[in-house]
Amino acid sequence: MSDPGGDPAARREEGAPGDRDQPEEHGQTDGAGRVRRRVLVGSALALALGGGGVALNRLRQDEGPLHPFGFTVATARPGAMDRFEADLDTVAGLGMGSVRIGAVAEHIVADWGVEGGRYTGAVGLSEEGMSALDRGLDLARDRDLAIYLMSVDAYAGEALPDADFDRLMHDYWTALAERFADRVSLWQIFNEADGSHYRTYEKVDAAVDAAYAADLARQVAAARDAIRAVRGDARVTMNLGGYPVDAALFARWETVLETLAPSLDVVTVDAYPDLSDEALSALVTELGDLRERHGKPVAIGEIGLPTCPTCYTDQQQSEAYGRYVAALGDAGLEGVYFYMLRDAEGTDPESSFGVADADGRAKPSLTRLEEIAG
């Protein structure tokens, strides 16, 4: 696919996966610690489309053709709970087994606890935001949806000594675990941080920069340790960038995972094969190789196809989703998460991955999934 163009920061602000020709540009927060890469912001989907036991060790694949799949949905946040609940109804109504939700710092952190370039020893959380996410996780469990919780944010405000940053993030992850770990099946730490620095969000290549890769693995392991100190059976992952899907990408995954995999309980990759049957077939083979090589479950954190005048048609998206389900539904994966349930606001390709548009009108791809679900 050609470069979608536009401002990468603006695309991240709308919750898009970033410039897929340059996956390393993904990021999560700006210099003041505000979220730049959001999960989906609510639309009128509730009007158009009808309006969680602990973690599963593996998504059962005997409950319908779409049970191994899920969607990334708008986070549960104050003022958007009706739309969030409608999203869950859509996912559960398709017979999907899980949902991908963000613990978004913009909504749940009131104060990172930094003064004068030092961490004060306490991250201030927003009770309003935390309560909304609490309620959202309960709503997902009520629908028997396993929860894939994204904690993609790192403090990115004024410079901190490394030791202070580590203590701050430990306290943040601990606080999230104390509140949510009993309902989370899988924790995602950071977002495609193999291509953008987990702390500064500058371009980086963990396949080339060995020191960065080692530091990234240490940070993910630290998050896992903090979460497991609260709940010993918690599982942690980090998604790797996934465009374009080709041999070079597979080689890159393998290089990064040589260092990162020991810090993961599940190997997660994002994958955007577009309309290529060859790329999709090669992806299935590579996923099996990853599972065998690392001895761990494998998941696809993001897969999808945008619809817009300069990219793909609604019909092409529908056909692609049918092929994705056919190829990946019995591939033995931990989960496969479509990106995304609905379009973000905007007209660029990166805002248009939804199976419904920003006004909540279903695209043919949603109808196709309903047909597959039976």
- Whole-angstrom distance, CA of residue 171 vs CA of residue 222: 11
* Cβ–Cβ < 8 Å for 114, 171: no
Q: Confidence class of residue 358 from pLDDT cuts 50, 70 and 90?
A: confident
Structural tokens at position 279: 């790329």
Whole-prediction pTM value? 0.86
- Residue 137: per-residue pLDDT: 98
pLDDT at 10 over 70: no
- Whole-angstrom distance, CA of residue 119 vs CA of residue 113: 6
Q: Confidence class of residue 62 from pLDDT cuts 50, 70 and 90?
A: low
- 149 strand-pairing partners: 101, 187
- Whole-angstrom distance, CA of residue 184 vs CA of residue 187: 7
pLDDT at 372 over 80: yes
- Residue 292: per-residue pLDDT: 98
Q: Confidence class of residue 165 from pLDDT cuts 50, 70 and 90?
A: very high
- Whole-angstrom distance, CA of residue 101 vs CA of residue 105: 13
Q: Confidence class of residue 63 from pLDDT cuts 50, 70 and 90?
A: confident
CA dihedral 18, 296, 71, 35 (to 10 degrees): -40
The better pLDDT of the pair 14, 111 is held by 111
Closest CA to 301 of 267, 349, 347: 267
- Residue 125: per-residue pLDDT: 98
pLDDT at 283 over 70: yes
* Cβ–Cβ < 8 Å for 188, 268: yes
- Positive or negative torsion for Cα 276, 282, 284, 290: negative
Per the listing, tokens 């203590």 go with: 167
